[in-house]
């Protein structure tokens, strides 16, 4: 089995799908690894390191894709909207592509992959079950995003985070409010606490209160009844406009008490819920900072713009995009562990084994035998609920 790793073509993407240390793991599984020359340079990994790790460094992208049975990338199909078509033109029927593919947000490229005959797996759709934890790219990358969000806020805030007792007087600590206590939110809480801030947090799931408090933050309770806040796969579920409206009214009372707001609420395949309106921003203290980690999906703040900082009534609203790519060395290390674990689950005695009884394989498989086979993606494309090549049966 030959596994190919290419340099990313998405603008600003500095990560690489496989790091040199992960090559040995795949070679033990009887796989040969081909790496495009320069694939890891933006992440800090040289061609020499890949060669010493046992990979074959190949001059061009075309050669890697032509020689690979499995192609590994960070971003493909819908997650690389400007570049996927060119790369897909190099693919061949029956070739396996594994990457983050954003299929629920941008399903049309999945249909293109099916026409090409590619067998595509989207790592974002790996179910959040215990056995799949080593493959969970959303968690590994969101963890880094939560950390970096706090550093962005600390840099832009007109105050310092920790309390300081000096000869010139005592400086009170900054107050940070984190909305959403998922992976990114919990890391944001932990990082803000390390920097000395007073932290509070809110989540629609009351069950996360213990996790929030274990990190030294105060859990803000809002008297709202919540049921089915997440789906069977462990991902957030949309809760309806009326719920979000009442939630926003209650959050509005909390915002003026804080210096920094970090929002992390997202629902796969849907626009992010608006939790902070223009009027709510206007009620905050000048100099305050909002870091909206959902900016790429429309934003939790009405004023957020992806990749930009908006100043409104003295409040800075930061809409960062692709934060893990600003820390590519460690982001790539984590991603490589995720994707190599996924590949090892696909291989049996060095050969591809598409066991459709395996929940991990079944739930992340997008295309097979020139058909879109994932039910949710088929629904997004307006296709019938199932096909003769659907997600049942064994291979």
CA 21, CA 330: separation in Å to the nearest integer?
Answer: 12
Nearest to 244 by CA among 262, 229, 259: 229
Q: Tokens 């078509």, residue? A: 85
DSSP 3-state of 166: strand
218's CB contacts (< 8 A; 6+ apart) are 199, 200, 201, 212
Rounded to 5 degrees, what are φ and ψ at 384?
A: -65, 160
Q: Which residues are known catalytic residues?
A: 128, 133, 136, 139, 235
Pairing verdict, β 315-318 and 347-348: unpaired
Nearest to 313 by CA among 354, 350, 358, 283: 283
Report H helices in the chain: 20-28, 47-52, 61-67, 84-88, 108-116, 137-156, 183-194, 209-214, 241-252, 278-282, 328-346, 359-364, 375-380
- Write the burial class of residue 392 (CB in 10 Å: 0-12 exposed, 13-18 middle, 19+ buried): exposed
- Write the burial class of residue 12 (CB in 10 Å: 0-12 exposed, 13-18 middle, 19+ buried): exposed
Length of the chain measured in residues: 395
Nearest to 373 by CA among 355, 386, 360, 361: 386
Nearest to 243 by CA among 220, 221, 218, 223: 223
**Buried-state track 271-283, b at ≥16 Cβ within 10 A, e below 16:** ebbbbbbeebbee
Nearest to 134 by CA among 365, 340, 324: 340
- Write the burial class of residue 62 (CB in 10 Å: 0-12 exposed, 13-18 middle, 19+ buried): middle
CA 333, CA 14: separation in Å to the nearest integer?
Answer: 12
């Amino acid at each position: 089995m030959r596994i190919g790793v290419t340099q990313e073509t998405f603008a600003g993407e500095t990560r690489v799908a496989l790091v040199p240390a992960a090559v040995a793991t795949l070679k033990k599984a009887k796989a040969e690894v081909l790496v495009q020359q320069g694939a890891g340079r933006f992440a800090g990994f040289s061609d020499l390191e890949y060669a010493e790790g046992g990979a074959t460094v190949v001059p061009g992208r075309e050669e890697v894709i032509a020689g690979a049975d499995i192609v590994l990338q960070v971003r493909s199909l819908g997650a690389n909207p400007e570049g996927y078509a060119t790369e897909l033109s190099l693919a061949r029927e029956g070739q396996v592509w594994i990457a983050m593919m954003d299929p629920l947000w941008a399903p049309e490229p999945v249909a293109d992959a099916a026409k090409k005959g590619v067998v595509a797996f989207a790592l974002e759709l790996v179910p959040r079950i215990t056995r799949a934890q080593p493959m969970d790219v959303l968690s590994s990358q969101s963890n880094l995003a939560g950390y970096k969000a706090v550093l962005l806020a600390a840099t832009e805030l007109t105050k310092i985070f920790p309390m300081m007792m000096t000869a010139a007087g005592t400086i009170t600590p900054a107050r940070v409010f984190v909305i959403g206590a998922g992976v990114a939110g919990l890391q944001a809480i932990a990082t803000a606490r390390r920097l000395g801030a007073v932290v509070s947090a809110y989540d629609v799931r009351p069950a996360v209160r213990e996790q929030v408090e274990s990190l030294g933050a105060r859990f803000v309770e809002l008297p709202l009844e919540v049921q089915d806040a997440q789906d069977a796969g462990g991902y957030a579920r949309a809760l309806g406009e009326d719920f979000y409206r009442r939630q926003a009214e209650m959050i509005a009372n909390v915002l003026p008490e804080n210096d920094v707001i970090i929002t992390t609420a997202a629902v796969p395949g849907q626009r992010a819920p608006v939790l902070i309106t223009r009027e709510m921003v206007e009620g905050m203290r000048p100099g305050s900072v909002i870091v909206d980690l959902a900016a790429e999906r429309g934003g939790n703040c009405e004023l957020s713009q992806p990749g930009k900082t908006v100043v409104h009534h003295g409040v800075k609203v930061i809409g960062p995009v692709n934060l893990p790519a600003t820390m590519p060395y460690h982001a790539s290390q984590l991603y490589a562990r995720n994707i190599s674990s996924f590949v090892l689950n696909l291989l049996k005695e060095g050969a591809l084994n598409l066991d459709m009884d395996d929940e991990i394989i079944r739930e992340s498989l997008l295309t097979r035998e020139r058909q879109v086979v994932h039910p949710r993606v088929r629904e997004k494309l307006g296709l019938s609920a199932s096909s003769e090549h659907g997600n049942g049966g064994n291979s």
